[in-house]
Amino acid sequence: MSLVRFNQPASVFPYRSLLNEMLNDFGTFTGQDSRSSVPAVNIRETEGEYQLEVAAPGLNKEQFSVNVEDRVLTVSAEQKKEETQENGKWTRREFSYASFKRSFTLPKNVNAEAIKATYDNGVLHVHVPKAEAVRPKQIEIQ
C-alpha cells in the first residue's frame, strides 16, 4: 500500500467558475500550519449567486472583516484574549492571539456592490450575487 499526500479533486464544473478559481486560490497565510489555523470554507454556486460558508466557531460577528477590492474578496478575523489573576504575592497573566485571512479572486460576472454576509451558529455566510446580465435566460420561441 502506498501513501498519497494529497490529490486535488477534479472539478465537477466543465466551465471556469468562481468555484474553480477558489479551489485553486486558497489565499495566503503565513505563520503556523495552515490546516489547523485557517478555517474551512465551503463554496457553492447556484443559478443566481455564489455562497461561501466559513466555519469559525467561538468568534462573534464583530471580530470578522469582509472586504472587496479590485475583484478580490477577503475574509479575515482576529481574536484576542487576556486574563490576569492576582493573589497576594503572585500574578498570573495569560493571553492568546489568533487571526486568519483568506482571499478569493472573484470572476467578472458578480455584482460586488450587493455582497452580503451574516454570522450564525459559528458559520460566516457570504452571499455573492451574480450580475443580472450573465444569469441564464430561457428564450421563448414564438
Q: Is residue 76 in some structural domain?
A: yes
In a domain, 10, yes or no: no
> Is residue 33 in a domain?
yes
- The domain total for the chain is 1
- For residue 98, give the C-alpha cell: 489568533
* Structural domain includes residue 70: yes
**What is the overall mean pLDDT for the chain?**
77
- For residue 139, being part of any structural domain is answered with no
* pLDDT of amino acid 52: 94
> DSSP for 10-62?
PPS-SS--HHHHHHH------SS-HHHHS--EEEEE-SSEEEEEEE-TT--GG
For the cut 80, the answer to whether the pLDDT of residue 44 exceeds it is yes
Residue 8 lies in a domain: no
Measured CA to CA, the distance from residue 122 to residue 56 in angstroms comes to: 5
- Considering the chain, what percentage of its residues have pLDDT values greater than 70? 71
Print the domain residue range for 51: 18-133
Mean pLDDT of 16-45: 59
Instruction: Flag whether 9 is in a domain.
Output: no
Please report, for the domain that includes residue 65, its CATH number: 2.60.40.790
Of all residues in the chain, the percent with pLDDT exceeding 90 is 30
Q: What is the mean pLDDT of residues 2-25?
A: 49
Adjacent-strand bridge partners of 40 = none
Residue 58 resides in a domain: yes
Q: What is the pLDDT of residues 63-113, one digit of tens each?
A: 999 999 988 999 999 888 888 888 888 888 888 888 889 999 998 889 889
The span from the CA of 73 to the CA of 65, in Å, is: 10
Q: Which helix (H) or strand (E) holds 102?
A: strand 90-105
